A and B are shown apart, each in its own frame.
Chain A
């Protein structure tokens, strides 16, 4: 939270599949650590993108929300929606947990949104979310 700035949050949704598995581990070890998550399954993800910034005195906006929608669709929603996250190049070396996915989304969005990007909150299901405020 940054005082003096308006915080704008927009909500996006995408659906994707994944499983938790480390190739270098035995099947028994994967099963012990990840349990049911070793089996391919999917989620309806909800991504909340929060920008913090000054309000343009002419437009009254921190950022054009239609432009934000386009950027987030191009960079994140289009990439992950109805995709197998394990097949994405971003998850060759890391498991597509919610924690890793929210950091990956940050890396995809920060080049386009810059310092205005304040927080990402990624809901895997209605009971669990991960938040990231940047490195």
Chain B
């Protein structure tokens, strides 16, 4: 009997948070030059797209339980960041410049650690309608 087909599902989550871009390795002048208007405290309505993969259960027809995924993402991500200042009040982001690039990698680490190995395939941080940051993990393609 052949193995069940793999399915992928993507769920979109939303949170609102403040941040500013400032690197401890740069002077105030350099930070202002490199980050421009992002050096000022501001905020976004972030969307985070989480893609997970798994065998399609022949009984339920689902590749994953959306309720479980929602609960996991709420616990490890949304509860940590929603309506916080990412640059100052989120201990798990201490020392991290909160660019979209770094947030995508941090969120990947948090979510991957809470899911069975190999399930997480993509995390996309949608900072604005014009800017998206995606991360697919570090491991070799399974």
| Cβ-defined partner of B131 (8 Å) among A3, A6, A9 | A9
With A61-B99, A65-B131 as known contacts, state yes or no: A6 contacts B36, CB within 8 Å. Answer: no
Give Cα distance in the complex from A91 to B116, angstroms.
Answer: 51
- CB contacts (< 8 Å) of A10 on chain B: these are 130-132
> Helix, strand, loop or mixed for chain A's interface?
loop
Give Cα distance in the complex from A55 to B98, angstroms.
Answer: 12
Give Cα distance in the complex from A61 to B98, angstroms.
Answer: 10
Which residues of A54-103 have CB atoms within 8 Å of chain B's CB atoms?
55, 58-62, 64-66
The answer to whether B132 touches A3 (Cβ under 8 A) is: no
A135 contacts B by Cβ under 8 Å: no
Q: Closest residue of chain B to A8, judged by CB?
A: B133
- CB contacts (< 8 Å) of B102 on chain A: these are 55, 60
The answer to whether B104 touches A6 (Cβ under 8 A) is: yes
The answer to whether A3 touches B138 (Cβ under 8 A) is: yes
Give Cα distance in the complex from A9 to B136, angstroms.
Answer: 14
With most chain B CB atoms within 10 A of its CB, the pick from A7, A10, A59 is A59
| Cβ-defined partner of B26 (8 Å) among A9, A58, A66 | A58
Binding site for A on B (CB under 8 A): 21, 23, 25-26, 34-36, 96-102, 104-105, 122, 129-141
Interface CB pairs A-B, < 8 A, 21: A3-B137, A3-B138, A3-B139, A4-B138, A6-B134, A7-B133, A8-B101, A8-B131, A9-B132, A10-B131, A11-B129, A55-B99, A58-B23, A59-B23, A59-B34, A59-B99, A60-B21, A60-B98, A60-B102, A64-B34, A65-B131
